Amino acid sequence: MKSWNEVSIGEPGELVSLLSELIVDPEQAPRTYRRLQAIWARRTSEGIELNYLASSGQGEPFKLWRLFVAPGSGVPSLAMLIPLAGSYEREIADLYGIRFEGAPDQRRLVLHEGSRAPDGFLGLAGSYSDPFAFVSTPTEMPRVGGDDLQQLRFGPVRADVVESGSFTFSYAGEGIVHLETRLFYKHRGMETRFEGRSIQSGSLLAERVSGVDSVAHGLAFALACEDALQLRVPTRAQQLRVLLAELERLYNHLQYFGLLSKLTTLKVADAEGHYLAELVKQLNARLSGGRFLRGLVVPGGLRRDLVTDEVGDVLNELEEQAHTYLSALAGTRSYLDRLETTGMLSAQVALAQGATGPIERASGLDRDLRRDHPYSGYDRYHFAVPGATMGDARARALIREHEIFASFAILGQVIAQLEDGPVFVADDSRRSAEAFGGMGWVEATRGTLIYVVYGEDGYLSRVKIKEPSFSNWRVFPYTVDGTNMMDYAINEASFGLSVAGNDR
């Protein structure tokens, strides 16, 4: 596999010492690219295979550590040394029945309280489909001291069209002492749904993992399959993929500012942000036939070619409107007052807990896969990767503001350089008949998105999705503790989180 360098671990006891190279000096955090990215498991004829994936330096292959363990066995936890490992370990414990010994948090993540698994249950992943019995069980919560503290449980059903999640606040007056989040109310078993599907049909499923990131998910999946089958995608297809990905980034970021404006009570700015996002979606529809750009990206390129004649003129007009809109926001004192110093996130916490995308870049971590590990020809385009150090809601908004204009710059270059030619190359039937495995990555709107695929005879046997919101939801509570109730909604909106992406 060309996308990663692999290391086999003989015994579980070697795990901690071998992966200790991923422990980073916090002072070196802003320029550190070596970092644990994901942990996943899959069932094989040899037992359960645990995989630990880390990013490397700019332009270098990722690194993968592989360990085989027996079902139901225990392995050392990494969470005390590399905190972001904790969420992956809890997920694997629920889905595969592996015990992570010494883990600081062994509560359920995917399975909720009240679900009593039958005797001999070794995890949800695979063919298990029988319903669980229900047992009245109290919610597991960490102890938060103080007789003067009150608790408020909000959710899982929330107002408007916000996705389901439960949020328990321990607070005194307006001050929040601790926030405990509970997600996975919408767990759909998306990774398991890929199993047994053909490579081509898998694209339709990938696009529906998170509706607002359809292109990013479809592209990461396609890149993973192309890596596995050693496919060389035509230049025009790569260029059009970048066009689609940046259009998706544009409407997401503009919609983001509409929501921030709404929560800071700027009704006109709320309407204008959503209006500009709507204009991008209408351009998407004229270009592709769908507002969310689905049904285009597939392994091997695109399903069909696109006519881009009017795109450049429309984007030029949109860029002027976006500049006027964002300049007005940046000059609105009441808006800035609500964002500045709200939801502070330091570089050290961002690194330790796994922040990604605009969230990490707003806290001083300088990473962007489009630049650091280029894919789909991103190395042909010139664009700035914005950074900030304050780590507050204003910094997170500022990153997205600059990314909007970076997207316009990339789109202009794509249109100017667009080549004629085919947009699809079929896979080699000989290669697809063999056992395969590969990895693809995308700098999605919300950060690092990784797909790892395994299969044989053209059919998928395992797909792992490293979703950016899974990482950022872990980080988010660290910015809430010690803040106040009045700023909570603004802080959450500044993260731009996807519940569907997290829950999968």
Q: What is the pairing mode between strands 459-466 and 47-55?
A: unpaired
Digits of tens for pLDDT over the chain (504 positions)?
Answer: 467 888 888 788 888 888 877 776 656 655 667 888 999 999 888 888 999 999 888 888 899 988 898 887 889 999 988 899 999 999 998 888 888 988 998 888 888 876 666 655 555 555 555 666 666 666 666 676 666 788 888 878 877 767 888 888 888 888 888 888 889 988 888 898 898 899 989 999 999 999 889 999 999 999 999 999 889 999 999 999 999 999 999 999 999 999 999 999 999 999 999 999 999 999 999 999 999 999 999 999 999 999 998 899 999 999 999 999 999 999 999 999 999 999 999 998 998 898 999 999 999 998 999 999 999 999 999 999 999 999 999 999 999 999 999 999 999 999 999 999 999 988 765 666 678 889 999 999 999 999 999 998 889 999 999 999 999 999 999 999 888 888 888 999 999 999 989 988
Q: Provide the token pair at 369.
A: 């896969």
CB 33 within 8 A of CB 57: yes
Taking a C-beta distance cutoff of 8 angstroms, is the pair 24, 351 a contact?
Answer: yes
Q: How far apart are the C-alpha atoms of 196 and 215, rounded to whole Å? A: 23
Please, which residues have CB within 8 angstroms of residue 421's CB and are 6 or more apart in sequence?
234, 235, 236
The pLDDT value given to residue 476 = 94
Given phi > 0 = left and psi -120 to 50 = alpha, else beta, which region is 174? Answer: alpha
Domains (range + CATH), the chain: 4-131 (3.30.460.80), 190-467 (1.10.645.10)
Give pLDDT, residue 336: 92
Rounded to an integer, what distance in angstroms lies between the CA atom of residue 484 and that of residue 218? 39
Distances (CA, A) of 421 to 94, 233, 307, 393, 424: 47, 11, 13, 44, 9
Quote the pLDDT of residue 256. 94
